[in-house]
Structure 1
Amino acid sequence: MSKLEELLAQKGALLADGATGTNLFEMGLVSGDAPELWNTDEPEKITALHKSFVDAGSDIILTNTFGCNRHRLKLHKAEGRVRELNIAAVKLARDVAEASGRTVLIGGSVGPTGELFQPLGALSYEEGVAAFKEQMEGLVEGGADILWVETMSAVEEMKAAAEAAQNFDLPLVITASFDTAGKTMMGLSPKGLGDLQSQFACTPVAIGSNCGVGASDLLAAIMDITEAYPDAIIVAKANCGIPQIKGDEVVYTGTPELMAKYAHMALDAGARIVGGCCGTSPIHLAAMRAALDAHQAGARPTLNEVIAEIGPLVSPPNKEADAARAENDGSGSGRRRGRRRS
């Protein structure tokens, strides 16, 4: 068993960390700048962020490496620093974890390349695998416990990340962002993510959802996954309420009380790793920690109960469009088309 599976077996459910970007903006990060450069330029601030999450009770903290691949770093003329920045990020997180006096796992955060894969864009599948492998080499060398692939949308990109991950003896986690009418921007449904597990070159230890829009939408997504795959280890890492634009700022509406309710409902929906994404501060995480510690298993929530407790869906599924698509591609009850893609 991996360290992640061992800790899950010991504790039953784990608390992941909160937001990286939005909390770094509070520390002075300027929009458009690369937070990954702070791993060497402002290491004390990254350390402080990790410590705030650990002090709030996180069992897993993610490295400041979401965009630390060659394609995103080239926007800042730092594509030659992939290994350096990933190693530095893991070491900052590792120092905090080891000083905590308890088991805190380090998830090496791997975000999308920022490029469209062929045929929609210029990036080939092989180039995607190479970019992910290069980043993962730095994360592994630095001492990460988990390869944590997050905020994914495209099937090809997830497969490329999984193929890269098979080169390393670390557990793989893959989470997608279901932010477009209940699906990812590239059209993948929550159940579709579960279906992909058997197609990945490296089978993930855990799958789930992060970011997206509101916490209710994320709960709806993980409920779809757990309904179809009740034995899977599921990650729920929701934004802190609903984002609202106020002037030049994006403000998240979630209170600590709301995020505690979300944590309870995520556990009852079948999640075993619960955390927060954009807008989630250490204060929110402390409330979520208390919720996990006090949780008594309840009935699986219904979508209506989620909406009543957490709030309305921001981007509800487009059932009419899905029905029409099923009719056209032959998967519905209507007439089948002549040819089907294998």
Structure 2
Amino acid sequence: MHDALTRLLADRDWLLADGATGTNLFNMGLEAGHPPELWNVDHPDRIRALYRGPVEAWCDLFLTNSFGGNASRLRLHNAQGRVGELNRVAAELAREVADASGRSVIVAGSIGPTGDIMAPMGSLTHEVAVEMFHEQAEALKQGGVDVLWVETISAAEEYRAAAEAARLADMPWCGTMSFDTAGRTMMGLTPAQLSALVEKLPNPPVAYGANCGVGASDLLRTVSGFAASGSERPLIAKGNAGIPRFEGGHIHYDGTPDLMADYACLARDLGVRIIGGCCGTMPEHLRAMRIALESRPRGERPSLETITRQLGGFSSASDGSDDSGPGRERRGRRRS
């Protein structure tokens, strides 16, 4: 496949991806419960500013403001008829900022979970899920994204539906899950199971991995599970900037730029090819990550002990490979 992301990966050992969407938008005045996707049309200058943050931090890739842009999520705000408009504009604004940068910057069309429970546990069928994802994918494609970016998925069935939608749209794609409950996703998938799932898809992603979760340490333990599977497909790590704490009526993440710089280099040394942040990761974190990745020499593959020594302890004793994982679905959250 000769898409822009594959070409860039062929030339580079690692790529720096963007950070948080929600944290930045809340700082711009977004109110809790208000769908960020409406800002693509209502406040395009703020979305341009959102996109310029990672571009000016010298990221190689950033995501569009379209995480909750599927019909199911937008229906909660009586905006299900605006899927095409909101996703297309999200992509157009991103394309505008990327093209103005004067360098090669990948625009990735963010596609989050539907928020519904897939059959047989729930009522969302494969066919309907594919239809929703395909509608979003076509609009992002029309707006000019380079690649579709499926993120924060927890169910294998939803991952498969998104993969099929990418095939129908004839678009390259990447896909990450969130392993936030005892080393597994909320539907109980382990890192090894995602690695196996990816290789069985008729149109596997350009790259796959993990995003969000509980913290940087946990995410790198998950990445270690991917690497142990033996897959040679490029890996993605987009961890949160520390642990969220509720202070003064707002959620704050305790991860410093220095911590995220350490996390980025540890991810690189684990073999991750696309390294970014998720909730709480601001442009100052991204700048520190870029400087560290460029200035620190590559080290040996870090052990779990090294990861906890530099980033802090794990949130659970389990890495997901035992029988202590969860068995329930969740309504996927957006990158905050």
**TM-score (norm. length: structure 2):** 0.94
- Report the residue type matching 2:9 in the other structure: L
For 1:148 and 1:292, locate their aligned partners in 2 and report how far apart those are by CA, in whole Å: 23
For 1:324 and 1:63, locate their aligned partners in 2 and report how far apart those are by CA, in whole Å: 32
The residue that corresponds to 1:143 in the other structure is 144
For 2:209 and 2:319, locate their aligned partners in 1 and report how far apart those are by CA, in whole Å: 21
The residue that corresponds to 1:80 in the other structure is 81
Asked if 1:33 corresponds to 2:34, the answer is yes
Q: Would you say the 8 A contact 2:190–2:320 is kept in 1?
A: no
Measured against aligned partners, the alpha-carbon deviations of 1:275-327 in whole angstroms (never above 9, x if no partner) come to 000000000000011122124221111111100000111234267962899xx
Unaligned runs of 5+ in 1: 326-342
What SS is found at the alignment partner of 2:323?
Answer: helix
Q: Would you say the 8 A contact 2:174–2:207 is kept in 1?
A: yes
Unaligned runs of 5+ in 2: 327-336
Q: Would you say the 8 A contact 1:107–1:145 is kept in 2?
A: yes
What SS is found at the alignment partner of 2:252?
Answer: strand
Superposed CA RMSD in Å reads 1.6
The residue that corresponds to 2:275 in the other structure is 274
The residue that corresponds to 1:289 in the other structure is 290
Q: Would you say the 8 A contact 1:226–1:232 is kept in 2?
A: no
Cα distance, 1:319–1:137 mapped onto 2, change above 3 Å: closer
Asked if 1:129 corresponds to 2:130, the answer is yes
Identity in percent: 52
The residue that corresponds to 2:303 in the other structure is 302
- Report the residue type matching 1:188 in the other structure: L
Q: Would you say the 8 A contact 2:153–2:177 is kept in 1?
A: yes
The equivalences for 1:130-279 within 5 A come to 130-279=131-280
The residue that corresponds to 1:99 in the other structure is 100
What number of residue pairs does the alignment pair up? 325
Asked if 1:6 corresponds to 2:10, the answer is no
For 1:149 and 1:242, locate their aligned partners in 2 and report how far apart those are by CA, in whole Å: 23
**Which one has more relative contact order, counting CA pairs under 8 Å at least 6 apart?**
2
For 1:185 and 1:96, locate their aligned partners in 2 and report how far apart those are by CA, in whole Å: 35
For 1:254 and 1:324, locate their aligned partners in 2 and report how far apart those are by CA, in whole Å: 26
For 1:55 and 1:80, locate their aligned partners in 2 and report how far apart those are by CA, in whole Å: 34
What SS is found at the alignment partner of 2:168?
Answer: coil
- Report the residue type matching 2:27 in the other structure: E
**TM-score (norm. length: structure 1):** 0.92
Deviation at 1:69, TM superposition (A): 0.3
What SS is found at the alignment partner of 1:166?
Answer: helix
Cα distance, 1:20–1:274 mapped onto 2, change above 3 Å: same
Runs of 4+ in 1 over 3 A off after TM superposition: 318-321
Please tell me whether Structure 1 or Structure 2 has the larger radius of gyration of its CA atoms.
1
